[in-house]
Amino acid sequence: MTIIPAIDLIDGACVRLRQGSYDDTTVYDADPVAVARSLVGAGAKRIHLVDLDAARGSGHNRAVIAAIRAAVPATLEVGGGIRDRDTLAAVLGLGIDYAIVGTVLARDTDTVAAWAAVDGERMIASIDARDGMVRVAGWQEGTAIRATDLAATAGSIGLAAVEYTNIARDGTLKGPDIAGTVEVAEATTIPVILSGGIARTDDAVEVARLSEGRVAGIIVGRALYEGYFDLAAAIAATRTQGPA
């Protein structure tokens, strides 16, 4: 199981939001490039980058993302504000490995399917849900789409993976939604990554054990930056951890 540390970007700084609220933002580091280097130094092979300025339509952090790309050898995935073909091309053009699509997938699946016909192997579906129902537009708007159904669609149109977030857990340090993530994983043919709620190093081992191989990775943010999650220890532990 892959441990994927997150770097969320606002105005070029590394931050975290609580449950997606821009009004509840903590700045952790003014130098995201240094943060990325430290994550790779701890053993990270993949980093999750979210451009929160792009997500809310107030600019973007592509220069910072390009600097991170130049600085570290890790696999990079980038999300935030990718809602049209030009933006997708611009983000992929930074040399990153995966672009993450969320709102546009739920609102206009046919358009994303057309993109996936060309770049599907470099595209990841971000599925954010509350009580199993997909939410979009920075989690501010509900839909009538079940997370499991959207995950199945993501697989059928040829996306590379799904990242599933139970938004009630995100940024809360209340523990991950393992059962909900497994349900999503069982609904699709592509790898599913858990996001939200990771609170301690042992959570990584619990996800690996209880999911019985059905969860391909976890994304960790706040717990890492606040010292509750030891990245190197989690990577070492999950390297040898088998299912229950």
Q: 81-136 pLDDT, tens per residue?
A: 999 999 999 999 999 999 999 999 999 999 999 999 999 999 999 999 999 999 98
Query: Residue 111 burial (CB < 10 Å; 0-12/13-18/19+)?
Result: middle
Cα gap 155→52, rounded to integer Å = 26
What letter does residue 75 receive in the DSSP assignment?
E
Cα gap 200→155, rounded to integer Å = 31
- Give me the sign of the Cα torsion angle 233, 191, 17, 119: positive
pLDDT at 242: 45
Nearest 5°: the CA angle 93, 31, 63 is 20
Query: Structure pTM?
Result: 0.92
The yes-or-no answer on residue 8 being catalytic is yes
Residue ranges for the chain with pLDDT beneath 50: 242-244
CA-to-CA separations, 209 to 2, 170, 183, 196, 197, in angstroms, rounded: 13, 21, 15, 18, 17
The yes-or-no answer on residue 131 being catalytic is no
The answer to whether residues 110 and 97 touch, using CB atoms and an 8 Å cutoff, is no
Q: List the one residue out of 234, 215, 210 whose CA is nearest residue 224.
A: 234
Looking at the structure of the chain, the number of domains it has is 1
Q: Which domain holds residue 126?
A: 2-240
Pick the catalytic residue from 128, 170, 177, 203. 128
Tell how many helices (H) and how many strands (E) occur in the chain. Answer: 11, 12
Cα gap 150→76, rounded to integer Å = 24
pLDDT at 243: 40
pLDDT at 30: 78
CATH of the domain at 103: 3.20.20.70
pLDDT at 56: 83
Amino acid letter, residue 82:
I
